Amino acid sequence: MSDFYDEQFLKQFFSATNKPPRMSNEMNAQMERDIKSEIEEYLDMEKMNDALSKPKDVNVKKPVDTNLKTFAAMNKPRLSDVPPVALLALGAAMSDGKDKYGRFNWRETGSTSSVFYDAMMRHLLDWFNGEDYAHDSKVHHLAHVMASCAIILDSELHGSLNDDRALHGTVVRNPCAWKNVE
């Protein structure tokens, strides 16, 4: 563990002098429990990185300031790294799907990997062929691809995905090499 997270640093974070004066003891105790939980999560990530034999500190983030909120948010996804246009386009595609099929319908009805793969490939091929927007929805084809990916991820998370992908197989990167594949 780096010197930044040594025992003295942690004591400083939890000392009574660093607590905001207007917070109740119960609020301070809850904040301390929350921060300790974040520290434990951070330490677990560091152990995982070590176990995977990655160079030290490759995936370890260090806070940019000493604000408790910064420390608590260190290992959470940074949505500020996502281009806003992608989020807005994804929202447009998801709204189009909501209007056609119902909001979060796949959680109840399920979704099938191959159906979404086929839809993503059609949108991707249309886009690559020079067509930016789908004729029916007027939403960008790449937004529809993102929406399909989001639905598959959500379906996996909620256990409603019918995963009918081929479990084993060889991906041939060069079609000329097909004759050499056994």
pTM of the model: 0.61
Domain's final residue, options 22, 51, 76: 76
pLDDT at site 24: 63
Domain count, the chain: 2
Q: Is residue 25 assigned to a domain? A: yes
pLDDT at site 26: 74
Rg (C-alpha) for the chain, rounded Å, is 24
Instruction: Name every residue whose Cβ is closer than 8 Å to that of residue 141 and which is 6 or more positions away in sequence.
Output: 123, 124, 126, 127, 131, 132, 133, 134
Q: Hey, what are 59's tokens?
A: 């995936």
Q: Is 111 in contact with 162 (CB distance < 8 Å)?
A: yes
> How far apart, in whole angstroms, are the C-alpha atoms of residue 72 and residue 116?
36
> How far apart, in whole angstroms, are the C-alpha atoms of residue 57 and residue 40?
16
Specify whether 142 is located in the same domain as 102.
Answer: yes
Tens digit of each residue's pLDDT, the chain (182 residues): 444 445 555 555 555 555 444 556 777 777 778 777 777 776 666 665 555 554 545 555 677 787 888 878 888 888 899 999 999 999 999 999 999 999 999 999 999 999 999 999 999 999 999 999 999 999 999 999 999 999 999 999 999 999 999 877 777 777 776 665 55
Q: First and final CA of the chain: distance in angstroms?
A: 49
Q: Is residue 175 assigned to a domain? A: no
Q: Is 137 in contact with 94 (CB distance < 8 Å)?
A: no
Task: Quote the domain boundaries for residue 51.
Answer: 3-76
pLDDT at site 25: 72
pLDDT at site 52: 54
Query: What is each CA distance from 156 to 75, 100, 120, 148, in whole angstroms?
Result: 22, 22, 17, 12
Specify whether 27 is located in the same domain as 68.
Answer: yes
Domain's final residue, options 76, 103, 122: 76
